Amino acid sequence: MEIFLKRNHGFELIFKAENVSVTEDIEERIYGKTADGKTDFSNVGRDIKTDALEQVAILDDMIYYRQAEFDSSALIGRLFAKLPKDVAVFLIGKLKSDYDTEEHHQERGNNQ
């Protein structure tokens, strides 16, 4: 089985298996505005649809259900880079607090 992202004139998500091939258009076109607020069809940006990201949570599920450890630090770094700064700072603080609390509980358990 293959799952990959293809980018030619847009973004497509492709799923291929033995005798099945599915291509899904996941591109969103974002048009700029003119000075008077009208849509500028000559100024188009391309991005991946938010709902496509939300529907394809398979990587998240695969990592969650995996039993063995998996170094996802590169993935985490790339995801953090996409967060708004205030959200990233809050999340870093929460993760550190959660980690420190968990570490504290483990130390107390070992000392008893």
pLDDT band, residue 56 (cuts 50/70/90)? confident
Is the domain of 2 the same as that of 45? yes
Give the residue numbers spanning the domain of 106: 71-112
Q: What angle do CA 90, 94, 95 make, to 5 degrees?
A: 120
The pLDDT of residue 61: 87
Please say if the pLDDT value at position 111 is more than 70.
no
Which residue type sits at 90? F
Count structural domains, the chain: 2
Same domain, yes or no: 84 and 51: no
Q: Is 93 helix (H, G, I), strand (E, B) or coil?
A: helix
- Residue 18 pLDDT class (50, 70, 90 cuts): very high
Question: Does pTM surpass 0.85?
Answer: no
- Asked which of 30, 56, 82 is the last residue of a domain, the reply is 56
pLDDT tens digits, one per residue of 35-45: 999 999 988 88
Instruction: Write the CB contacts of 17 (distance below 8 Å, at least 6 apart in sequence).
Output: 1, 2
